[in-house]
Amino acid sequence: MKILVTGGTGYIGSHTCVELLDNGYEVVIIDNLSNSKRDVVDKIEKITNKKVTFYEGDCCDKNILTKIFKENEISAVIHFAGYKAVGESVLNPLKYYRNNLDSSITLLEVMNDFGVKKIVFSSSATVYGKPDKLPIKEDFPLSTTNPYGTTKLMIENILRDLYKSDNEWSIAILRYFNPIGAHKSGLIGENPNDIPNNLMPYIVKVATGQLECVNVFGNDYDTKDGTGVRDYIHVVDLAKGHIKAIEKIIKSSKVDAYNLGTGNGYSVLEIINTFKKVNNVDFKYKIVDRRPGDIDACYADPSYAKKELDWSALYGIEDMCKDSYNFVQKNK
Ligand code: NAD
Ligand code: UD1
């Protein structure tokens, strides 16, 4: 069975391609390489010892998508392609609305033209806004605090409308919590070129001497040690969730959303201390002001994904810290 993976050379996409190939699926990738490199395809092939069909192109381009569907008998699509930097989306909202919405609508139109009505969509815990209580369940109210999050919520709504209009669609919306870690091989992972916004890529740059000191954004939150608490999930666990979601949408036609998180919350200081311990490294951190828009704590109730998808995360925080470091050390 052939799966089209948009954004398949990106961080989560590449790990998902590995899991798809390891589970006997054929993989076709479309990526415009705006935030990834062509050599990721070779690395996916090296890890799995299987071939991938790669198209360099943009999901906003109907012609290339049509060509892909003509040339390949696609059974389902996993849609990762999109921009994801929250801060940039506040500064340049039109860039985010254009790319994230246009790529999704164009993809859905072409899928509809070819009668391929099965899709897994990458959403985010950001659609829960500032939740009133924890852990977060899928039926909590949805709201957003930045344009990036709004694009995710808008696409979720588009998908729900699409299903309402045509019950042949089968749609899994996956709401990721905080993916970190990397494949054990050290061949694929996340290593942004510029100064990272997210915690783990920042820690790794400090631990490898590329940046001076980790800035801890506030220690006066209402959490165990005052620093922000999040549900970090190993990217390989997350990737495996997509295989379960594909199995689900192949079996049944509906639209549904699933939290992909571990259900455990770790504070910034717990992450820093675990990272130092398991990797036997030392580095500096300092407490600075809160980052505007951040919330105290955010973690999933993952029981619906367990019940409906038969999926739960297996890796712990120590593996996540080890694998993140291993990848960047090998790819400095
Ligand atoms: P990523 O940037 O590593 O991967 C996205 C890929 O999509 C990149 O390879 C990029 O080149 C490609 N791309 C972007 N726009 C495109 C377009 N118009 N046409 C073709 N390719 C395009 O990001 P990621 O971390 O792997 O995230 C994948 C998806 O998951 C994104 O939709 C993101 O919003 C969502 N998500 C990510 C996180 C996270 O923390 N990483 C959390 C929640 C949701
Ligand atoms: C970020 C995104 C969110 C997305 C999520 C997925 C922002 C504002 N939000 O969430 O939309 O769904 O990633 O992974 O970018 N921290 C520091 N120092 C740093 C960086 C972060 O102390 O240098 C703290 C933050 O205050 C937070 C925690 O570490 O408490 C995690 O931050 P981050 O990795 O940026 O993720 P989120 O903000 O949870």
Reported as a single tens digit per residue, the pLDDT across 183-200 is 999 999 997 778 899 999
Q: Among 155, 171, 209, 222, which Cα is nearest to 329's?
A: 209
pLDDT above 90 covers a percentage of the chain that reads 97
CA 200–ligand 2 middle distance (angstroms): 9
Q: Are 279 and 321 in contact (CB under 8 A)?
A: yes
pLDDT of residue 219: 98
| Cβ neighbours of residue 100 closer than 8 Å, sequence gap 6 or more | 82, 83, 148, 151, 152, 155
Quick one: 2-185+233-262 is in which CATH superfamily? Answer: NAD(P)-binding Rossmann-like Domain (3.40.50.720)
Tell me the residue type at 192. Answer: P
Among the bound ligands, the one closest to the CA of 202: 2
Among the bound ligands, the one closest to the CA of 299: 2
CA 192–ligand 2 middle distance (angstroms): 15
Q: Which of 55, 148, 163, 232 is catalytic?
A: 148
CA 35–ligand 1 middle distance (angstroms): 8
What pLDDT, in 10s, does the model give residues 74-124? 999 999 999 999 999 999 999 999 999 999 999 999 999 999 999 999 999
Q: What is d(CA 120, CA 80) in angstroms, rounded to the nearest whole number? A: 9
Q: Can you tell me which atom of ligand 1 is nearest the CA of 102?
A: 18
Maximal C-alpha separation, the chain: 56
Q: Cβ atoms within 10 A of the Cβ of 316, count?
A: 13
Half-sphere exposure of 182 (CA within 13 A, CB side): 26
CA 50–ligand 2 middle distance (angstroms): 35
Q: What is d(CA 90, CA 21) in angstroms, rounded to the nearest whole number? A: 37
**46, 87, 232, 255, 260 from 264: Cα distances, Å:** 33, 26, 8, 27, 12
Which residues lie with the beta carbon below 6 Å from any ligand 1 atom? Answer: 6-7, 9-13, 30-36, 58-60, 80-82, 84, 99, 103, 122, 124, 176, 179
pLDDT of residue 210: 93
Adjacent-strand bridge partners of 19: none
Tokens of 331: 């790819």
Whether 258 is catalytic: no
Q: What is d(CA 70, CA 32) in angstroms, rounded to the nearest whole number? A: 19
Q: What is d(CA 218, CA 228) in angstroms, rounded to the nearest whole number? A: 8
Which residue's C-alpha comes closest to atom 9 of ligand 1? 10
Ligand 2 test: best mutation among 200, 294, 295, most atoms within 8 Å of CB?
A: 294
In this prediction, residues 174-183 reach a mean pLDDT of 98
Tokens of 19: 């899991």
pTM of structure: 0.98
Q: What is d(CA 37, CA 15) in angstroms, rounded to the nearest whole number? A: 14
Adjacent-strand bridge partners of 42: none
Q: Can you tell me which atom of ligand 2 is nearest the CA of 216?
A: 22
What pLDDT, in 10s, does the model give residues 63-88? 999 999 999 999 999 999 999 999 99
What pLDDT, in 10s, does the model give residues 216-271? 999 999 999 999 999 999 999 999 999 999 999 999 899 999 999 999 999 999 99
Residue 293 pLDDT > 90: no
Q: Can you tell me which atom of ligand 2 is nearest the CA of 268?
A: 29
Q: Can you tell me which atom of ligand 2 is nearest the CA of 298?
A: 39
